Amino acid sequence: MTTRPADRYLQCMRPRALLLVIVTAMLALGIVAVQSAGMVVPRSASFSELLTSRTTQLGLAAVIAFLIARRIPPRWTTNQWVARGAMVIAGILLLLVFVPGIGREVNGARRWIEIGPLGFQPSEVAKWAAVLWVAAWGGQRGAKLGTFWKGLAPALLIVGIASGLVLLEDLGTALLIGAVAAILLLAAGARLWHLILIGLPALGVVTAAIISTPYRLTRLRAFLDPWADPSGDGYHVVQSMTALAGGGIGGRGLGNGVQKFGYLPEDTTDFIFSVICEEFGVLGGIVVVSLLLALAWTGWAIIQRQSAPHRQLLAMGIILTVTLQAIMNLMVVTAMAPTKGIALPLISSGGTGWIMTAFMIGLLASLDNDRNSSLDCAPRTMPQAAT
Amino acid sequence: MKNGAQTQVRQCQRIRGWGFLCLLFCSALLLTIPIRVIWLQQSPSEPLQASIQRSSSRSTPLVRRGDVLDCRGRVLATSSVGRRAFIDPSLVDDPLILGAELHQAIGLSGAQVQRLLAGRLHRRYVALPNLLEPWQVQRLEGQPIAGVFLEAVPVRRYPQHLDAASLVGMVGQEHKGLAGIEYVLERDLQAHNGRLETYRDAARRPMWVPPSGFEPGMDGRDVRLSIDLVVQRYAESRLTQAIKELGAAGGRLIVINPETGAIVTVAEVQTHGPDAPTQQRLHRVRSVSDPYEPGSTFKPFVWAAATSAGLARSDEVLSTPRAVGHRTSFGRLIRDAHYYGPSTWRKVLVKSLNSGMAIVAERMSHQSMQHLVDQLGFGKISGCGLPGETAGLVTSVQDWSNYTQTSVAMGHEIAVTPVQMARAFCAFARDGSMPSVTIRDRTHDEGVVTTRIFDPAVAQLTRDIMHDVMNEGTGRRARSTHYSMFGKTGTAQMPKKEGGGYHQDRYISSFIAGAPLQEPKLVVLCVIEDPDKSKGSHYGGSTAGPVVRDLIDFTLPYLGVAPDLEPTSKGTTNVASVGRARGANSPSREPGH
């Protein structure tokens, strides 16, 4: 049996290869955008300095994390004990935030842990630990999830505790964890009306969390009418919209954005998309959205190749987490949702964020690497047409 | 086992189904993002537009409006940079204290400051009304006041004050011409503003100028007029004196160089109440806007046209009446001021006999009279470049009657502007061709367009006869002792403003003349409106005539033209020199002889 060049090309374009391309492209775009957004004019600047900057190093570290994760056998990541362990570690880290000397307050929220030179957000860990745990739980319990007390309730309890701990300081990530977990449980076999019943009180908790926190209320008001106080509460949204609208179709050009010079807060992190749109225009925005769509549908191709529910759920969890987080960020940036401190995956500046996200997408790629995936067993060559 | 496998397959299908639905939903949400960005870009709200512009600052580098110069480069209007103060009310804590500070610094009263700021406290820019004097600028620069800033503004200055004020006109607040030359030549004079756009950081520090952010401004062009300021000044003062002496309502005086068609002077005086300087600058230029009935000053045109057409010879004796008047073929009674009995065609012009003009006018066809009027440019704007020019009034071809024919021959039933009249008269000062006239500098005859009206010999003959007008006819009182002039008087009854005929005792008296006789350098027309009869004569020769003479006597030496008459011991004209001049243009050259 011989293979035609076209078939060989199709084989090369396997999802795991595509994922590498997409992740690298997003990180590259992130490195460029972050460097531009954080631009200062030093006395002497050289291109080599940019190439060896901390941002570039972190980008490279993220690619390496992806490559390492891609080689991890899926049986490890779908293992019950690994998932439980991850959840326990996440829980401990979430509690450590409140320990004086370890937890650090940034922008009014206590989200960071600092141990020596290392600094990261435990919510990032909790987010991925929840995905691992729910995927493992859903895969193991399967049909039992249809029953409330034996299937769904324990899962909800664990996820609820994790989300609740995150919710104390980071509503956006808590919502993300809750939404992804709910969808995964639903897909795994939970009943919709069970989730709705539980969702209503959860919604109440979220509402209470918003009302009880003045800065969240302010953000909500600023979202509803950013022009009521454009230099106060509505400042973030107004400056973000200004950057988006000022870019035009082709943008002002790389480095020529104006909003990053003191107007747009959080320009390297949460509002990096505004900087991209200002400097690269709508075309830059379309590239970002296209990469996210490509990532999501490549992940879908991997889900389709899986025959085991827990592997499907893991893949779906990773894709949903990245995509929903991106959607939340983009909606905030484009003033379609109230401001939440949530980053654009793989593009917003962030050390642990980049590395962990790339690592998890690497795990997604590893599912495609495994010869036990159902479609992986399909013949490597296309059948020859009878002549 | 089999059941377990089936359950797993079903679970996998369920996961795929939910996964697909979720991804579809997420994809739809992601696709809304670029649409939202495009929407923000294409239809930004007003505050968003303002927010985009806030990151850059736009300034307009000062540019200079062109100067208005007279024909010798004297500045009639020029621009300079003045300093003005403005207040930013958002930086003012207490308007009362600001008023006191401004009073102390530049003498502005506190009440004035309160009035300025009333209802404007929400603004960022409230300009003080007047330009600052140098000492005021010095004080404000030395001791800055919070919320008060200095800015440079273009200022239009008129160094000649009220000389040629209505002619030059003025500019408005935005430095754009409102009246006069400033308005008419706006396109030449106006400066084109440049643009400098600078991107600034949030602390308003300048960062860079975008590639298309700088457009250099362009100064306006200087405009040199044909007006001579020295002559203009003299004309204005002499006309003012005459108007005062004659108790007239107003007067107009225009001087044209017949060689080039350049308007040397346009002086106008009105006596209805003193005007503020600004109002004077806003006056219309009545020499091009207000037509008048020329009266007998129109007769030379008809005389020359009829002679040229062979309808009358200069020595032909016409049956002009001894008394009462002449009755035309259609029964109209034409009266003269004085009756001389049968007179030659030459004498008709010298003595300004209406009857003789009517007799010959009846020999002319309506078409030829209409053609003459049209050729001379009456009923059409001259295009001299002065603002607000009108065409005058000429009876239409359909309404032209025998009555019109004889009226027009005497300068009635036709209204012309002084510029039209003076231009047409230039045909006699030249070789029978009429030049185009202009207010722009035309030192030499470049750009002059001429229209042939009369045969050169007829023009010369008419000029000689008009010289006789000065010696023997109605222009005797306007005769110069230095220059040989040729001219014609005109005294027309004033039409009633409300319509329905003419005033019996109110006149528009005019005198038009050229000099020197042999090589005319000037054509001067003076129109005196409604002179007071009780203060002397109301005839053109004795009211407007002396003004024209004085102007010629003043201007020709100024232009370097030597007198062509030698004054006798009694102060009368040296006839010999005139005789030489007349001998050179003997009647034998008249066509038809």
Q: What is the pLDDT of residue B514?
A: 95
Residue in B23, B32, B47 nearest the CB of A296: B23
Residue in B23, B31, B40 nearest the CB of A241: B40
Task: Write out chain A residues lying below 8 Å of B213, CB-based.
Answer: none
Q: What is the pLDDT of residue B574?
A: 47
- Amino acid identity for residue B231 in this structure: V
Looking at chain A, which residue has its C-alpha nearest residue B51?
A242
Q: If DSSP states are collapsed to H, E and C, what string results for B292-332?
A: ECCHHHHHHHHHHHHHHCCCCCCCCEECCCCCCCEECCCCC
- Distance of residue B76 Cα from the nearest chain A Cα, in angstroms: 48
Task: Write out chain B residues lying below 8 Å of A231, CB-based.
Answer: none
- Distance of residue A380 Cα from the nearest chain B Cα, in angstroms: 23
- Which domains are present in chain B? 60-113+121-194+206-224 (3.90.1310.10), 229-575 (3.40.710.10)
- Residues forming a β-bridge with B512: B488, B525
pLDDT bin (cut points 50, 70, 90) of residue B370 is very high
Listed residue (A347, A338, A222) closest to A291, CA to CA: A347
Q: What is the pLDDT of residue B272?
A: 65
Q: What is the pLDDT of residue B585?
A: 36
Asked whether the predicted pLDDT for residue B239 surpasses 90, the reply is: yes
Query: Which tokens sit at B221?
Result: 């062009």
- Tell me the percentage of chain B whose pLDDT exceeds 90: 51
Residue B476 DSSP code: G
Span B525-545, pLDDT tens digits: 999 999 988 887 888 888 999
Q: What is the pLDDT of residue B200?
A: 87
Span B444-473, pLDDT tens digits: 556 788 889 999 999 999 999 999 999 888
- Distance of residue A128 Cα from the nearest chain B Cα, in angstroms: 18
Query: Which tokens sit at B59?
Result: 């300034």
Average pLDDT over residues B103-113: 87
- Distance of residue A334 Cα from the nearest chain B Cα, in angstroms: 7
Residue in A289, A293, A303 nearest the CB of B19: A303
B19 vs A381 pLDDT, higher one: B19
Q: What is the pLDDT of residue B60?
A: 81
Q: What is the pLDDT of residue B296?
A: 92
- Distance of residue B30 Cα from the nearest chain A Cα, in angstroms: 6
Is B363 within 8 Å of chain A by CB? no
Q: What is the pLDDT of residue A41?
A: 54
**Strand ranges, E, within chain A:** 103-106, 109-115, 118-120
Looking at chain A, which residue has its C-alpha nearest residue B46?
A227
List Cα–Cα distances, B539 to B488, B513, B527, B532, in angstroms. 11, 15, 11, 11
Q: What is the pLDDT of residue A361?
A: 95
Q: Who contacts B569 (Cβ-Cβ below 8 Å, separation ≥6)?
A: none
Please give chain A's pLDDT, 387 residues, in tens: 455 666 666 566 688 889 999 999 999 999 999 988 887 655 555 667 767 788 888 999 999 999 999 989 888 887 888 888 988 998 888 888 887 777 777 666 667 777 766 777 888 889 999 999 999 888 887 777 777 777 788 888 888 888 888 877 778 888 899 999 999 998 888 888 888 887 788 788 878 877 887 777 787 888 888 888 887 888 888 999 999 998 889 898 888 888 888 888 888 888 999 999 999 999 999 999 999 999 999 999 999 888 888 899 999 999 999 999 999 999 999 999 888 788 999 999 877 889 999 999 999 999 886 554 444 333 334 344 333
Average pLDDT over residues B168-188: 89
Query: Which tokens sit at B256?
Result: 């044209």
- Amino acid identity for residue B589 in this structure: R
**CB contact at 8 A, B498 and B504:** no
Is A195 within 8 Å of chain B by CB? no
Looking at chain A, which residue has its C-alpha nearest residue B199?
A258
Q: What is the pLDDT of residue A51?
A: 73
Q: If DSSP states are collapsed to H, E and C, what string results for B42-70?
A: HCCCHHHHHHHHHCEEEECCCCCCCCEEC
Task: Write out chain A residues lying below 8 Å of B26, CB-based.
Answer: 296, 320, 323-324, 327
Asked whether the predicted pLDDT for residue B584 surpasses 60, the reply is: no
Q: What is the pLDDT of residue A230?
A: 83
Span B459-513, pLDDT tens digits: 999 999 999 999 888 888 889 999 999 999 998 888 887 777 888 888 999 999 9
Average pLDDT over residues B125-139: 89
Task: Write out chain B residues lying below 8 Å of A186, CB-based.
Answer: 18
pTM across the whole model: 0.66
pLDDT bin (cut points 50, 70, 90) of residue B96 is confident
Average pLDDT over residues B208-231: 90
Looking at chain A, which residue has its C-alpha nearest residue B49?
A242
Determine the Cα–Cα distance for residues B352 and B410; give it in Å rounded to an integer: 9
Size of interface A-B (CB pairs under 8 A): 135
Q: What is the pLDDT of residue B25?
A: 95
Determine the Cα–Cα distance for residues A266 and B159; give it in Å rounded to an integer: 60
Is B40 in contact with A143 (Cβ distance < 8 A)? Answer: no
Is A241 in contact with B47 (Cβ distance < 8 A)? Answer: no
Is B27 in contact with A293 (Cβ distance < 8 A)? Answer: yes
Q: What is the pLDDT of residue B2?
A: 59
Q: What is the pLDDT of residue B113?
A: 87
Is A367 within 8 Å of chain B by CB? no
Span A305-324, pLDDT tens digits: 888 888 999 999 999 999 99
Q: What is the pLDDT of residue B570?
A: 47
Residues 282-311 of A with CB under 8 A from B: 282, 285-286, 289, 292-293, 296-297, 300, 303-304, 306-309
Residue in A188, A248, A296 nearest the CB of B15: A188
Residue of B11, B14, B52 to mutate when probing chain A, most A C-beta within 10 A: B11
Is B52 in contact with A238 (Cβ distance < 8 A)? Answer: no
Is A245 within 8 Å of chain B by CB? yes
Is B135 within 8 Å of chain A by CB? no
Q: What is the pLDDT of residue B149?
A: 92
Listed residue (B433, B420, B430, B436) closest to B520, CA to CA: B430
Instruction: Tell me the average pLDDT of chain B.
Output: 87
Q: What is the pLDDT of residue B273?
A: 52
Say which range, B64-73, B93-102, B227-236, has the weakest mean pLDDT. B93-102
Determine the Cα–Cα distance for residues A144 and A152; give it in Å rounded to an integer: 8
Is B27 in contact with A296 (Cβ distance < 8 A)? Answer: yes
Query: Which tokens sit at A133?
Result: 């745990």
Asked whether the predicted pLDDT for residue B587 surpasses 50, the reply is: no
Cα A290 to chain centroid distance, Å, stands at: 16
Domain coordinates of chain A in residue numbers? Answer: 14-69+228-370, 85-212
Determine the Cα–Cα distance for residues A380 and A7; give it in Å rounded to an integer: 9
Determine the Cα–Cα distance for residues A41 and A34; give it in Å rounded to an integer: 15
- Residues forming a β-bridge with B509: B491, B528
Task: Write out chain B residues lying below 8 Å of A285, CB-based.
Answer: 33-34, 37
Asked whether the predicted pLDDT for residue B69 surpasses 90, the reply is: yes
Q: What is the pLDDT of residue A281?
A: 93
Asked whether the predicted pLDDT for residue B393 surpasses 60, the reply is: yes
Determine the Cα–Cα distance for residues A111 and B344; give it in Å rounded to an integer: 120
Q: What is the pLDDT of residue A129?
A: 92
The secondary structure element, H or E, covering residue B232 is helix B229-246
Is B15 in contact with A326 (Cβ distance < 8 A)? Answer: no
Is A330 in contact with B33 (Cβ distance < 8 A)? Answer: yes
DSSP string, B518-531: SS--EEEEEEEES-
Q: What is the pLDDT of residue B575?
A: 41
Determine the Cα–Cα distance for residues A275 and A264; give it in Å rounded to an integer: 9
Listed residue (A182, A177, A112) closest to A145, CA to CA: A182
Q: Per mean pLDDT, which of A18-27, B96-105, B122-131, B566-575 is the most reliable?
A: A18-27
Residues 132-191 of A with CB under 8 A from B: 142-143, 183, 186-189
